[in-house]
Structure 1
């Protein structure tokens, strides 16, 4: 019976791996950044492990594509193992492609702050290191003002008991992660880390901001 159960779980995992995800293009093992479509805007955030953050952002109304990758550092074209050393300056990040007619940058930023713990310095839960730090990137002066506005609102509402530790950083470059890290959440639902660390973050966001979540993800 146990062998049959394990075989069934393996088949389900393989099925999810085959049919889940966004079908992002890859080259030499790394994801190729999609071209921004007419009317789309792009936002970039870092909030701990990108497996959970990618799924959180994908579940938002108006979001069309989310790519996991690396940003905030100085090393060109880093890989996962190098980023883990903390020597690149990069943090695990996500690049979000969205329709501003359906969701605003302010709403995206609010979701970002609800999808992780922005009070932790150089860590998120069990993940420790500068590559897991919290960063809100801005591309324009207005986006910077919006980030500060959302952070002030969180402070006023006492959303968190500790001071926010999120960096507010001008965007410079985003490097897509390896293909194996894209859509990891939906392709590895039985993984222990996904079930115990990533899923609670996703459920937390759904509960906090149900009005921003696509209908198919709500009970």
Structure 2
């Protein structure tokens, strides 16, 4: 039974995410009216104060924590994980995040604020940004608070920029951020279980 706990854990949270998504965007969801009002209010602020805002740096900023992570690792800075575990952790995080985010985009079919397509919910850029931020935090968070500040500040700016670019509603960004963190944490738990069984955990920093 212990061997299957990560699978049970992941399946449980997938079900919870689907239920939440239905309540957020389903026509009969009890949260839908409130969410719609919040989305329209924030979009109104954007259109009033920054109607011509358009920047592309969010395409790169979402990857900054991941680039910093690999750079520090290649530079020989000791982190929590050895290379094999880290690479598996990264790959699983990417798979989980892309699978869930793109599945929700297809299932929910929410129109973007700029009306370019129906893939607004949730924000993939924001999910990726918070995924890479969490990867960096898991690897080097014990080094100091600067790691969290750099990682999550860049992720927050990425999410805000998606709203300012009129590509996402605010709820898209909030849910994208939550998914990025949650799914990376799920990947971490799965890798932790696998490597613990093989006694390859670095117990000095395994928190």
Question: More strand per residue: 1 or 2?
Answer: 1
Question: More helix per residue: 1 or 2?
Answer: 2
Normalising by the residue count of structure 1, what TM-score does the alignment of the two structures yield? 0.25
